[in-house]
Structure 1
């Protein structure tokens, strides 16, 4: 279909109305190609002098059209790219007023950059990303040029906010500076800090259940790592399957807490049901407490005893010495006569 096809003449319809309807129909069918043709057949190509052609310069055409030369050149460049791809004739073959078969309007966005920002390095990156997402670059460029509109959409629309969050997560993986900025924002915002702490707690609890279900290992309250009994592992797998089936937007915190508490109770029951394990658990717990107490005491320094001395300090150390003596005597008694 060509841009020269005339609209049907109707009695009583003024000529200006017919012309407007005809132009509108041409644009509806061919999109920007209808106007690009007007530029292509009227603006002389670079390197061609005014003496060689009836065409005019882009500047003169813009003055006649009442728009900027930059806008004219965007249509000019779109046609030039399409001509290189064999979609439309080259400028040199077009005469002023000539009509040609025009491509479908769907092809227009791939060649036309409606904004000058598309020519910048930033614009090129946005265009490339838009094409990778399968959307028109002009849409992405429009959003990039109006951050306030983007902010308004994010604030007002949950689906837009969700898309923005997903995009930020994708970008943050490869942008160390953004990682730092987001981490700083989270640290300075109480609500976000609480939310992160809650999610971390849920993730730790799910990790505990996953360790049992997938690796077949349990960790006792005292810190022992043991092979999980079949019954306990099966229960962990059941809870894990329930967690994995949660919808993306569903809060996993409550489910994670229930699964964690259940598995912890089963681990305690498993330890208590086995006399040997029960003794080993108490022994492990004793060693752990002893190690912590030893480390704390070793970190004490008395180089400045004159400055920090209080009677209460000596009293507490004497009580500690008595408790240690009692503990040593109990352990030696348990060991039996040498």
Structure 2
């Protein structure tokens, strides 16, 4: 195109204004406010500048919108980015900061000035994003919900954010726990993940502490072969990505280690005897507790609760106890 082509004056003015805005962004408009709106402390008769309300009337917009530009300029002036209001006269021109800097001072939303908005702005800045984006999302929960429902990556981001918030929000912890308890699918998922975590913890305990609990509840030192196998399985689990299901891996590791524990016990005569002794005592304690809780104190009338098999079961239990007692007496060192 010929550079000497005659351009309409209005077109040239528009192009110039567009270029200024492309380079400076909101600074170009903030300058118009800063050099024309009367700062606090100056009376109407002391300056040709006007109030923010009057400037808004002349501009055909709200005073609130004018004040957002005013406050952005004020913050930038305090940081030495631009001159203070008192140094600017109507029509003054200065070199303006780059457009990228503008968004760190300006918020297009009135919610940014509230306590909630301040918190959102601070969080956005900590994440390295523009506060206006975060404020826009916060003001439109329905849009956020739609994005979470439609887009897996948005849902993942929301999940991560919720987990971070849960650490410092006891009320949210309670509400989420209640929601899980009331949702059958989530209850099952939590139970499955809890089981996997418990099994992985069992294997990790062997690797880190060198000890293992037997089926009967004994805590014994884990043999080198058992520790090596536990460490191998644990390393495979630790290498899984965060989004991979650990359930099958946890089950395989747990079953393998448990089988090795049984083999360890059975291959050692002393351990084998102690395992059976521990198991017997455990069963005896459970049976004793259950029988102690069996009481007729709450029954007003035995005739009302009587069933034939009650007596039969007690008689069978008595016979079993007598047999067990006789066997133990026979095995007693004193006999």
What TM-score results when the alignment is normalised by the length of structure 1? 0.94
Residues 9 and 18 in structure 1, CA contact (< 8 A), matched pair in contact too? no
Query: Which residue of 1 is the match for residue 13 of structure 2?
Result: 19
Deviation (angstroms), 1:24: 1.6
Query: Which residue of 1 is the match for residue 148 of structure 2?
Result: 154
In structure 2, do the counterparts of structure 1 residues 11 and 55 end up closer, same or farther at CA, with 3 Å as the change threshold?
A: farther
Which of 256, 261, 270 is equivalent to 2:255?
A: 261
Which of 281, 285, 303 is equivalent to 2:279?
A: 285
Deviation (angstroms), 1:139: 1.4
User: Deviation string for 1:61-82 (max 9, x for gaps)?
Assistant: 1111111000001001111111
Question: Structure 2, unaligned stretches of length 5 or more?
Answer: none
3-state SS in 1 of match to 2:96: coil
The answer to whether 1:230 aligns with 2:227 is: no
Deviation (angstroms), 1:171: 0.8
Q: 2: distance between equivalents of 1:299 and 1:185?
A: 35
The answer to whether 1:48 aligns with 2:42 is: yes
Query: Which residue of 2 is the match for residue 212 of structure 1?
Result: 206
Q: 2: distance between equivalents of 1:100 and 1:46?
A: 22
3-state SS in 2 of match to 1:141: helix
Q: 1: distance between equivalents of 2:52 and 2:92?
A: 18
- Between 27-36 and 47-56, the greater mean CA deviation after superposition: 47-56
Deviation (angstroms), 1:14: 3.0
Query: Which residue of 2 is the match for residue 180 of structure 1?
Result: 174
Displaced runs of 4 or more, over 6 A: none
In the TM superposition, 1:72-151 aligns within 5 A as: 72-151=66-145
User: Deviation string for 1:215-256 (max 9, x for gaps)?
Assistant: 111111111110001111111111111111111111111111
Q: 2: distance between equivalents of 1:244 and 1:147?
A: 37
User: Deviation string for 1:20-56 (max 9, x for gaps)?
Assistant: 2222211110011010001111111123222222222
In the TM superposition, 1:300-315 aligns within 5 A as: 300-303=294-297, 304=299, 305-315=302-312
Q: 1: distance between equivalents of 2:321 and 2:75?
A: 88
Q: 1: distance between equivalents of 2:304 and 2:256?
A: 52
Deviation (angstroms), 1:118: 0.9
Q: 2: distance between equivalents of 1:148 and 1:24?
A: 35
Deviation (angstroms), 1:92: 1.4
The answer to whether 1:57 aligns with 2:51 is: yes
In structure 2, do the counterparts of structure 1 residues 11 and 276 end up closer, same or farther at CA, with 3 Å as the change threshold?
A: same
3-state SS in 2 of match to 1:110: coil
Q: 2: distance between equivalents of 1:9 and 1:115?
A: 42
Over the residues paired in the alignment, what is the CA RMSD in angstroms?
A: 1.5
Q: 1: distance between equivalents of 2:4 and 2:49?
A: 34
Query: Which residue of 2 is the match for residue 331 of structure 1?
Result: 328
The answer to whether 1:190 aligns with 2:194 is: no
Q: 2: distance between equivalents of 1:176 and 1:336?
A: 59
Deviation (angstroms), 1:18: 2.3
Q: 2: distance between equivalents of 1:337 and 1:227?
A: 33
Deviation (angstroms), 1:12: 4.6
Q: 2: distance between equivalents of 1:336 and 1:83?
A: 95
